Amino acid sequence: MINKENWKENYTHISNEVIDNEKVLRVVKSGKINEYDENTYAKLVDSSFHNGIIEVKMLSRLLKEAPDFARGFIGIAYRIHEDDTKFESFYVRPTNGRQCDDPVRKQHGCQYFSYPTYTFAYFREHDITKYENQVDIDLNEWISLKAVIEDEKAIFYLNDDLQPLLVVDQMIHDKSMRGNIGFFVDIGTEKNSYIYVKDILPKVDEKNNKDLQIKEKIEDIIKINDKLLVQVQKDSNEQKGARISTHIKLPSKYIVLMPNTSIITVSQKITDKKEQERLIKLVKDNLSPNNGAVIRTSANGKTEEIIEDIKNIEKKWNSINETYKKEKSNKPKLIYKTDGIVEKILIDLSCKKLEKVVFDDKEELEKIKKYIMQNKEFDNLKLEFSNSDILETYDLKKQIEKSEHRKVWLKCGGFITIDKTEALTAIDVNTGKFTTGKNLSDVIYKVNSEATIEIAKQIRLRDIGGIIIIDYIDMLREGDKEKIENLLKQELKEDRAKTQVEGFTKLDLMELTRKHICSHKG
């Protein structure tokens, strides 16, 4: 059974090897490298499986040339159609197991999926999490996988545990389907990243060079095996890999450092011309040559604090650059990631009155203690440890769940709906249960004004970016539209992200744009 002659390659390479004096079947993914949850398996020939038990011992090893995002996927494929167009599968991700310290990745330790449509990407897009679980496994160790299949039901076990990891009561494909058994392999859940020509060429001030035409071709600028220091600008999705750029941006409290450029700009929220000029001169005088910066809103009125901030962020950049220069391999590698979420929140809120932070993680508490010792602005900040679950104590779970709902109710009885598409986010305002009041114009204005305040809040909470269209209830009274537009602008002033209110269109739709607040990796 273990002889390679009994198995058929499907976007894989099969060979026989000896490990620990035992003959084993080695399966390596060799096709569809940039795709995941595909029909990449070794298929047992002359097999026809419908119901029964599948048991196998598997060991996952990463290839030497495997990228950093490889997860070492191994698993069972079953009821494989004769033309390989559909099958069911259970698999595990060993690098998301015992040694993984990322809580998000840990949740994706094992997975059920149904080819071709119902893959991990589909489940993620539709917020379906019932087909995955955590695993206590690792690379380079033998793992026992067991699948019990009966009609439409499938149960998945790991390492002889009596309790199943996953129970699928209703598999996607027809319960009568039968087919081959296979060993499934994959490398990770990432696509190749992509980079635009303008993100390789020296950075220019786009504000003053709007009509700049780029004539260079990317193949003339970079070649295969060239080594680049890049930063992730936009995470991957189901259609595209991550967008990367050689234009590095390192955010700190008062500036965003832009190495290898001379551009210095000021936040648009600082409107005083004299203050703009002062800040530009101050930053220019204290920055190292060949470094530029975006001066943040929090820098307004500051001097010594900015100088210290520049020293710290340039020190961080010098360390990153030195690490990059010492790296000899051309293999993709993460050499720096931004501070933890708590540090980033503290940076963003440091200019506001922050009195107390409560932790339920002692390790995170100790990290923050060290962090605030180096930052005088947090001298009066109280840090507390709680033995209870913070999410439950402060009822945060309900608040988080509420922030993900499509429909959001207003105090007056009206509601808004939020629908996100690839192109834009559409927000619709409805009167709902609010029909009281003799004057219809008053009713409409009250709902629209409450909706405006809530919309500004939801945009921040959900970090909605790109084009946003708001369909308000049609306003009958002259001047109400202008009031609503001014109210929206006022409420958006609380937003740390750059927003631009374009006003009402010819179709009476409010149009605005917003930049995401996101972390960067280099």
Distance CA 315, CA 340 (A): 18
Tell me, what amino acid is at 43? K
Q: Residue 10's pLDDT band (boundaries 50, 70, 90)? A: very high
Distance CA 108, CA 313 (A): 34
% of the chain beyond a pLDDT of 70: 88
Return the pLDDT at 34: 61
Distance CA 308, CA 213 (A): 39
Q: What residues does each domain of the chain span?
A: 4-185, 191-247, 251-338, 343-394, 397-514
Concatenated DSSP letters for 182-245?
EEEE---S-PPPB--GGGTSPP--GGG-TTPPP---HHHH--TT-----EEEE---SS---EEE
Distance CA 199, CA 214 (A): 11
Return the pLDDT at 374: 67
List the end-to-end C-alpha distance of the chain, in Å, as a whole number.
47
State the maximum Cα–Cα separation within the chain, in Å, rounded to a whole number: 88
* Tens digits of residue pLDDT in 345-394: 776 665 556 788 888 888 788 878 877 776 666 777 888 888 888 878 88
Return the pLDDT at 519: 42
Q: Residue 503's pLDDT band (boundaries 50, 70, 90)? A: very high
Helices (runs of H) and strands (runs of E) counted in the chain = 11, 27
Whether 45 shows a pLDDT value over 70: the answer reads yes
Distance CA 521, CA 496 (A): 20
- Torsion angle, alpha carbons of 90, 94, 96, 97, to 10: 100
* Tens digits of residue pLDDT in 218-245: 777 887 778 889 988 876 654 556 788 8
Alpha helices in 374-414 (DSSP H): 390-393, 396-403
Return the pLDDT at 356: 85
Does the pTM of the predicted model rise above 0.85? no
Whether 520 shows a pLDDT value over 70: the answer reads no
Residue 133 CA, chain-centre distance (Å), reads: 19
CATH superfamily placement of domain 4-185: Exo-inulinase; domain 1 (2.60.120.560)
